[in-house]
Amino acid sequence: MPARTSVLVTGNFSDANMQLMRDAAPAADLHFVGKVADAGNLLEEVDAVAGTLKAPDLAKASKLKWVHSWAAGPDNDLIPEMMVSPVVLTSSVGNGAIPLAEHSIGLMIMLNRDFPRWMRAQADKRWERFTHPELKGLTLGIFGLGNSGSDLALKAKAFHMRVVGLRRRPELSVPGVDMMYTIAQFHDFLAESDFVVVTAPATAETTGIFDEAAFRAMKKTAYWICISRGGIADDAALLKALREGWIAGAGIDAHSIEPLPSDSPFWDLPNVIITPHNGATTFGTAQRSVEIFADNLKRFVDGEPLRNVVDKQAGY
């Protein structure tokens, strides 16, 4: 009789979600622990782990075939030892697409209508009315058209916006995108956009791509928004662009250093809205992570291809 598949699941889950995972693979033995450090000798016996492993954990898990990351971006999982390991790595990419697109729309509206001005007036109990723009007719440029970028394109259409996109594979069409640019047309894409929303992962190709030349290519009336990963913009260039008026402002959820240090100059800029990498922190995101893993768990036990397999060299 073949041995049962053994799976270590890290995290804290409701009884309903633990049952959801058990029901996905009744022929597997699921071991639930709060964190990897609580697993003890279990690591030596498991075939799969849901959670992030450090180098000693990976070395200890001699029977391991698959690791699933609860995160959409597997940055913390791609340690050197994982990069060279034959273990398959999957992610929860797509879990936060809906709230990240919503967060982008929220930041766009707040920046476009200068919500901070209203908030300052409210704090001063001051009735201050002013004429502000609409999103209708403006062009949204989406840098990266994965799950969150694709959902954002559809949401922007509900606000009567024109949508342009830039992605690594421009030949793949995306509903709601009126025009697709290639990376060779990066500055043309920027010059066309009233809002530039970054939804791309941080990779060797994207890190620091928003440099001084990129921000100078944008309209002076345009806003830059980052909801995916910090480091895609060169912080010094972004700071200079915001201070000197190369662009109108920014909405920043993902930062190159997190938590953002209290002495960071970005906190004090009047044309910037800071959120603490919080755009996808929703109950729905957490639930979709469980559902993605449960589906992959069934596939793993049944010997079927897994979803969201990470290209370790590409970084996503």
Catalytic residue positions, numbered: 229, 258, 277
End-to-end Cα spacing for the chain: 37
- Residue 67 pairs in a beta bridge with 49, 89
User: Which two tokens mark 91?
Assistant: 């992610």
- Considering Cα of 183, then 185, then 191, then 195, what sign does the dihedral take? negative
Q: Looking at the chain, which runs of residues are DSSP E strands?
A: 5-10, 28-33, 48-50, 66-68, 88-90, 139-143, 162-166, 179-181, 195-198, 223-226, 249-252, 272-274
Cα gap 22→92, rounded to integer Å:
18
Cα gap 3→300, rounded to integer Å: 14
Q: Tokens for 14, please give them.
A: 């409701």
Phi, psi of 215 (to 5 degrees): -70, -30
Per-residue tokens: 187: 């500055």
User: Does residue 312 contact residue 82 with C-beta atoms inside 8 Å?
Assistant: yes
CA angle 272, 278, 281 (to 5 degrees): 155
